[in-house]
Every structure is written in structure tokens, then in C-alpha cells.
Amino acid sequence: MKPSRQYWTYWEETLRRYQLHGVAAMLLEAGAPLALLGAQALHFSRGLIDSDQLTALALTLEDESEARALASLLIEKKASV
């Protein structure tokens, strides 16, 4: 398992709690062209805020297959709830 995936369950639960599954999945899928810019912004922010979760999110956004896998997880959970 990739290190960034250790946070996915927490992110999924938080998004579900605030009922933002669909929005997050849509942004991950539709926002793929901008994901690399978002990842770079998160890497840049490490100078201001050093957070393992921000780094994990940046790594997830950098890898298109990982971003799609996270979106699929959110969609699956959304459909089953």
C-alpha cells in the first residue's frame, strides 16, 4: 500500500460526515488537469505548514491513477450509504 493511502479512510469518513462525497469525487475526476497544480501548491505550502496529510494529499493528486482510485472509493462508499 502506498503511504498516502493510509489517510484515505479518515478522509472518506470526514467527507461522508459532511456529505461531500460526491463533490470530492467529482472534483478528483473532473479536475484532473488542475490536480498537478494543486499538488504543487500543497508541496509549496509545506514550508508554512508541515503536515503528513497535506503531503499525502499532494502525492495522491500527483498520481492520476491514485486520484482516480480515491474518487472510486468515494463513489463506492456514496452508493452504499
Instruction: For residue 22, name the pLDDT band (cuts at 50, 70, 90).
Output: very high
pLDDT tier, 13 (very low <50, low <70, confident <90, very high otherwise): very high
Q: State how far the Cα of 65 lies from the Cα of 34, in Å rounded to an integer.
A: 14
Dump pLDDT digits (tens) for 58-76: 999 999 999 999 999 999 8
Contacts of 35 (CB under 8 A, 6+ apart): 28, 61, 62, 64, 67
Q: Say what the pTM is.
A: 0.85
For the chain, the structural domain boundaries read 3-80
Task: Report whether pLDDT(80) > 80.
Answer: no
Using the predicted structure, report yes or no on whether residue 1 has a pLDDT greater than 60.
no
pLDDT of 47 over the 60 cut:
yes
